Structure 1
């Protein structure tokens, strides 16, 4: 398949007007996406221009390019693995260079996603100690990360290579202020059979590394279904989501700032004076929208959790429960995180956590941190199973959907309104790994099941 580059220009407005005939019932219903509706596939959505290549529809003036796809040969001789997921970006050696570290959410099978070939024939080119779990050099972990060196000026990939290997289902993660990517395993497979090591950990990948890193798990950050992380640049405290229907929200306070392997304290969030709060609102509304609620943190021991019971122990001790915690991103003394199937319709929630002035060093006299149910979908046409997210340079949230039907990139503006930024009209694949370049000129995102990494550019000031 050739690389695709296309611009959604104003010349396509005639097609848009033609499709807009479908909109006789009003634009208020056109954002609804399900198998019964034609609106999302026909793209009669206000402000979105149909893509003539039937791939990705965007606002006028925006263009996309597939910069990497699974099966490509990388500079190190391995294949680009399948199922790209979370990503982080970092400044390169010059102003035009962006370093992208990209997760791959792969188990030891199928081999169609393997960086080592359809029969793992390239395993002979990697040493056992470069793989976290070599699987007896017969069934290695196929997750991990790849690193892409991208030139924003030429819009070309200059290098790409494996940077973490042998892990399982590296889903999301997060960037650190000291220039590394924290890659998270969303898997708690235990040692046994072909599996040589326990899984369910966070691994650190320096963006400056030119090849494979030493695959060392940060065990003090806990063993659970890790999803995403966000790091406070002032304290190095790491906030973590858990992709489980009954997951918790975690905080890791490192013993040594910027050195997570030196150990630290793992904690879980609880609602002050309301232990065991169920924020999911599945049965009834127990956690109201747009109400700032005081949050406290509880210590949790035995982070290795051989029985995969951190969330049970934390909840028993009073922690709040969340519905599939997913993407998380740090803002100005606050962070936002998504819960994919929270809310009465299980169509998604987004929470906002505001830090305490004494974050990580709270006393009984401290001003408490707060947590707020910022968004809860009551209409899947507006928000349908939010997943990865990022904060745009101008402060809006950019949110990926993962609903298996019609997936969009949504823009949640600072006033709380929601608009559609992009629509996948090529496949049922989720969007994943959404992140801006350090310059703010390029938005990178993956179409996971397509195996594609995209670079999107355009007049950002027109939507900010």
Structure 2
């Protein structure tokens, strides 16, 4: 599920320091979890309390004392292009606007309705779009982060499906939005899907979304998120295809500023260990030497039985992961989450190949100058109380960490005293410098997950979505801007 604006902080001098501090925190968390006992002290910002939105008066989140929030961009709200705000608010990034004091958000909508369904879709009649029956896409929002007042809101890409997460383009010139599916004509769509698309920061405008065209050389698979290495222009891509072994991919473009000009798609492999299974049996901190295998057919004709990108990579000895989600660049490395990897099992039924899902892993890929590199598992959750299914891992501008949980298990229900009546709550989890997790925010109004967490360019505002429904207008998707005394605590 979702991508973050953390790369803005991690590619600057100050951001490199923040990334280093965050990695120290993550290492402390790993040590704390392995010891099986809590870190002493009072973590975080204190207990949560149900709090009303400053601009609407609705009681939607629980946050610590001293923090406030506004809510905007709600499903059904009329936008500047005359269309209602779509459903299924997912991955998102925050950019500097051309107007002072304004933040521009580009937000995915993971609409999962059938071809051409009008319910909650992302749609501008008569506009150029990849698939006329596509129901998903992106919206762009210009917002005053303090008041939550929306200055402009419009569809910026339509004609795609299941837009889950993504990442910032090279040079922060826009957003790369990803389809988390490989559906096509056999499922009723006019076009094949499973691609990455480019949404320029300043190109689209109300009533004139970008002409959505897939970057087919980046692969056709169930994409989740991407991260660009600013030193090389290589784009790293995660795959989230439930119930199957997933791959970690790299796209080496001919021109990092023109991804559509072509390039080479590759899948990560552990040197001398073909088919290595990263999903379980791993040791935190152990380095695995990496090489990359080429995907000869990045746009497979799946409708006629062609091998998937992952099948091609596995046949060449590629490594197996389980449900790869969040992905970002920082401190000279690429970090990515496996939502359901790990040895502590969540109780769900095994996958078809026998793998039983865990509570999550965090991986680090360290590129080397020879084009290869090393892979390190930097954290694995020992159980639900420590961390339940990490979707995004956010390095904050001050060197803290925020984790977006996506309760992936159907067998392990979570309740919370501040959210009576909800059987699966969703939280933003922070980590203190000693590695102890703490609750930072709780969705008290429905059971939809947090997504798209990202900080404003000045680091003062945390934006986040609650997904809402991917099929209906209730519960609605919402976007939040959270403010408070960040420097009082570890975030």
- What is the TM-score with the length of structure 2 in the denominator? 0.77
Q: CA deviation at 1:396?
A: 2.8
| CA deviation vs aligned residue, 1:245-284 (integer Å, no higher than 9, x gap) | 4110000010012110100011111112222111111xxx
Gaps spanning 5+ residues in structure 2: where? 1-43, 53-58, 346-357, 409-423, 469-475
Provide the secondary structure at the position in 2 that maps to 1:250: strand
Query: Structure 1 residues 252 and 412 mapped into 2: Cα distance closer, same or farther (>3 Å)?
Result: farther
CA distance in 1, matches of 2:287, 2:67: 37
The answer on 1:290 being equivalent to 2:285 is: yes
RMSD: 2.0
Deviation at 1:192, TM superposition (A): 4.5
Contact 1:174 1:229 in 2 (8 A): yes
1:148 maps to 2:147? no
1:355 maps to 367
**CA displacement at 1:454 relative to structure 2:** 0.8
1:185 matched residue in structure 2? 179
Matches of 1:414 and 1:336 in 2, distance apart? 19
Of 131, 154, 159 in structure 1, the residue corresponding to residue 152 of structure 2 is: 159
Q: 1:414 and 1:258, CA in 2 relative to 1: closer, same or farther beyond 3 A?
A: farther
448, 457, 461: which one pairs with 2:483? 457
- Secondary structure of the residue aligned to 2:155 is strand
The structure showing larger relative contact order (alpha-carbon pairs under 8 Å, at least 6 residues apart) is 2
Superimposed CA distance per residue, residues 129-165 of structure 1 (whole angstroms, 9 cap, x where no aligned partner) = x12110xxxxx21110000011235432100000000
- 2:223 touches 2:240 (CA, 8 Å); kept in 1? yes
**Structure 2 match to 1:168:** 161
**How far is 1:414 from its partner?**
6.0
1:219 and 2:224 equivalent?
no
> Separation in 1 of the partners of 2:63 and 2:338?
25
Aligned pairs (5 A) from 1:333-348: 333-344=332-343, 345=345, 346-348=358-360
Q: Does 1:243 align with 2:240?
A: yes
Q: 2:120 aligns with which of 89, 92, 113?
A: 113
Q: How far has the Cα of 1:52 moved from its partner?
A: 4.3
Asked if residue 277 in structure 1 is aligned to residue 259 in structure 2, the reply is: no
| Secondary structure of 1:315 counterpart | helix
Alignment check: 8 A CA contact 1:172 1:227 kept: yes
Please say if residues 86 and 173 of structure 1, whose CA atoms lie closer than 8 Å, have aligned partners that are also in contact: yes
Residue 381 of structure 2 contacts residue 387 of structure 2 at CA under 8 Å; is this kept in 1?
A: yes
Contact 2:113 2:119 in 1 (8 A): no
Render the CA deviation track for 1:311-358: whole Å, top value 9, x for unaligned. Answer: 1221121111111000112112012211111112111111122222x1
**Aligned counterpart, 2:425:** 406
Question: Hey, what's the Cα distance between the residues in 1 that align with 2:246 and 2:174?
Answer: 26
Aligned partners of 2:334, 2:264: CA distance in 1, in Å? 20
- SS of the counterpart of 2:464? strand
Decide whether aligned partners of structure 1 residues 151 and 177 sit closer, same or farther in structure 2, where only a CA change above 3 A counts: farther
Bigger Cα displacement from structure 2, 178-187 vs 395-404: 395-404
Does residue 78 (structure 1) correspond to residue 71 (structure 2)? The answer is no
1:302 aligns with 2:328: no
Shift of 1:418: 2.6
1:97 paired residue number = 102
8 Å contact from structure 2 (residues 246, 320) kept in 1: yes
- Contact 2:109-2:122 at 8 Å conserved across structures: no
The alignment status of 1:441 with 2:438, answered yes or no, reads no
| Most deviating of 101-110 and 201-210 | 101-110
Alignment of 1:319-330 (within 5 A): 319-330=318-329
Q: How many residues align?
A: 395
Shift of 1:393: 0.8
- The answer on whether the counterparts of 2:122 and 2:158 sit within 8 Å (CA) in structure 1 is no
Name the CA distance, whole Å, in 2 between partners of 1:151 and 1:65: 10
Alpha-carbon offset, residue 293 of structure 1? 2.0
Q: 2:441 aligns with which of 402, 422, 425?
A: 422
**Deviations along 1:34-54, whole A, 9 cap, x unmatched?**
xxxxxxxxxxx9823211455
Deviation, 1:191, is 2.2
Alpha-carbon distance in 2 for matches of 1:415, 1:266: 39
Structure 1 gap ranges (5+): 1-44, 117-122, 135-139, 363-367
